[in-house]
Amino acid sequence: MKLVVVGFGQCGGRVADEFCRLNKTARSRRGIEIITGTYAVNTDAADLSGLTSIQRGYQHRILIGSRKTGGHGVGKINELGAEIAREDADKVIDAIRSTKRFFETDAFLLIASAAGGTGSGAIAVMSQQIKERYADKPIYNLIVLPFEHEETTEDRTVYNTATCLKSCYSVADAVFLVDNQRFVRKDSSIKGNLAKINSMIAEPFYNLLCAGEEKKPKYIASKVLDAGDIIQTLVGWTVIGYGKADIPLFRFPRDRSDFRKKGNETLKGIQTMDEAISELSLKCNPVDARRALYLLSGPSKEMSMDLSKALGDYMRDIAPEAMIRNGDYPRERGILDVTVILSELSDLEKVRGYYTKSTDLIPEFKRRQEETEIKLKAIEETSKDIPSLL
């Protein structure tokens, strides 16, 4: 599957940078292109300068709203971010249109943080603009949710997140949700933490995108998971998970009929699936999924019919209402890994929580504004008899 990836705001741009790095890895190690174009869009010039993999040209690092912001961001006001995106949408569309192999693209992936200003405001607006021009290509949003400490220290974070989620859900074909808090490592530096989180957000997509683009016969799957399967799976609220287990590269010849060793192979696969489910990008109940997908990747000798059946039974047990698609990818050496997607989720406690809190905050914001205006008016009234020097 080939994607055009567009990151909005600081967070979105850095995650898009990781997807650009993934494409370079796929090209150098596998001779495969999985990203036809990667772009970062921001109102802050400094954030665009901090990227490492996306091309440095102005058509790939796109500065918008410079007349209103002076290139210094929107200060977490996502309404302003949406307004600027609406005004400068043609800048982004023109850049996308110039992608060399654009018409090989299967879908768009737009990325942003829900809590910020530029990304939170721009992603839904640009999803709508792109959808109007390229109605035949699915639009997927990847929304990064805030850390717990951001939610507790700043009410605006919760409000931005709620408005961003509602707007994206109404326009995108599917919305991948990523909870920052599930990836945080408390003993690491801020810079190290964020770099690792961005890498972990992009990593599960690697084999998923490569599997359908493989060209070498020995790496073609018995059951190929192609763009069509992915597109038919992705609808509405969506989460993604990834698990892996190391496998010895070299083994002594052994009797493959040994029941104990055979059982260990299947058990390792089940444990890998279990890790993928426990490491889903957002906490959810798999029972609420109406569509699901899993991809098993590893050395071909390690992927038996028994393992495939065990993983299928596992997925059916945890997501009994879902239409399940699956595939294998005999590519990895020394690793057995499983990628899981749960989509068309009917209930998400985290999303419901944002909506509820935001609804409570709106009258609170109004009350604070009225109090501020009353106090300012009182100060002005007190100073009316004082002469001015102007």
Q: CA 3 to CA 272: how far, in whole Å?
A: 27
Structure confidence by residue, pLDDT tens digits, 314-325? 999 999 999 999
pLDDT of 299 higher than 90:
no
Q: CA 170 to CA 153: how far, in whole Å?
A: 28
Q: CA 174 to CA 248: how far, in whole Å?
A: 38
> What is the pLDDT confidence band of residue 269, given thresholds at 50, 70 and 90?
confident
Could you tell me which residues come within 8 angstroms of residue 6 by beta carbon, excluding any fewer than 6 positions away?
12, 16, 38, 39, 40, 41, 92, 96, 108, 109, 110, 111, 126
For residue 191, the model assigns a pLDDT of 64
Report helix angle 118-133 to 78-87, nearest 10: 30
Could you tell me which residues come within 8 angstroms of residue 43 by beta carbon, excluding any fewer than 6 positions away?
63, 64, 65, 66, 68, 69, 71, 72, 73, 74, 81, 84, 117, 118
Task: Among 18-22, 136-140, 233-237, 362-366, name the one with the lowest average pLDDT.
Answer: 362-366
Q: CA 142 to CA 6: how far, in whole Å?
A: 10
Burial-class residue 353 by CB neighbours within 10 Å (0-12, 13-18, 19+).
Answer: middle
DSSP state of 387: P
pLDDT of 84 higher than 90:
yes
The continuous run of DSSP H or E covering 109 comes out as strand 107-113
Q: CA 62 to CA 39: how far, in whole Å?
A: 7
Q: CA 23 to CA 247: how far, in whole Å?
A: 25
Exposure string of 321-330, with b = 16+ CB inside 10 Å and e = fewer, is: ebeebbbbbb
pLDDT of 215 higher than 70:
yes
> What is the pLDDT confidence band of residue 203, given thresholds at 50, 70 and 90?
very high
**Beta-sheet strand order (sheet of 291-297):** 61-63, 35-42, 3-8, 107-113, 139-145, 174-179, 236-246, 335-343, 291-297, 323-329
Residue type present at position 270: I
pLDDT of 267 higher than 80:
yes
For residue 149, the model assigns a pLDDT of 85
Q: What residue ranges do the domains of the chain occupy?
A: 3-202, 238-343
For tokens 């979105």, the residue is 12
Question: What is the residue-wise DSSP string for 207-223?
Answer: HHHHHTT--SGGG--SS
Asked if 246 contacts 334 with a C-beta cutoff of 8 angstroms, the reply is yes
pLDDT of 202 higher than 80:
yes
The continuous run of DSSP H or E covering 271 comes out as helix 259-278
> What is the pLDDT confidence band of residue 255, given thresholds at 50, 70 and 90?
very low
In this prediction the pTM is: 0.89
Q: CA 73 to CA 185: how far, in whole Å?
A: 28
Asked if 141 contacts 173 with a C-beta cutoff of 8 angstroms, the reply is no
The continuous run of DSSP H or E covering 41 comes out as strand 35-42
**In the CATH hierarchy, which top-level class contains the domain 3-202?**
alpha beta
For residue 108, the model assigns a pLDDT of 96
154 or 176, which is more confident: 176
Structure confidence by residue, pLDDT tens digits, 109-154? 999 999 989 999 999 999 999 999 999 999 999 999 998 888 888 8
For residue 248, the model assigns a pLDDT of 65
Q: CA 6 to CA 373: how far, in whole Å?
A: 40
Per the structure block, which two tokens stand in for 52? 């490492």
For residue 16, the model assigns a pLDDT of 95
Residue type present at position 323: M
Phi, psi for 340 (deg, rounded to 5): -125, 135
**In the CATH hierarchy, which top-level class contains the domain 238-343?**
alpha beta
For residue 120, the model assigns a pLDDT of 94
pLDDT of 83 higher than 50:
yes
Asked if 314 contacts 370 with a C-beta cutoff of 8 angstroms, the reply is no
User: What's the whole-number average pLDDT of the chain?
Assistant: 88
Q: How many percent of the chain have pLDDT more than 90?
A: 55
Structure confidence by residue, pLDDT tens digits, 14-67? 999 999 999 999 999 999 999 999 999 999 988 899 899 999 888 899 999 888
For residue 246, the model assigns a pLDDT of 81
SS3 133: helix
pLDDT of 204 higher than 70:
yes
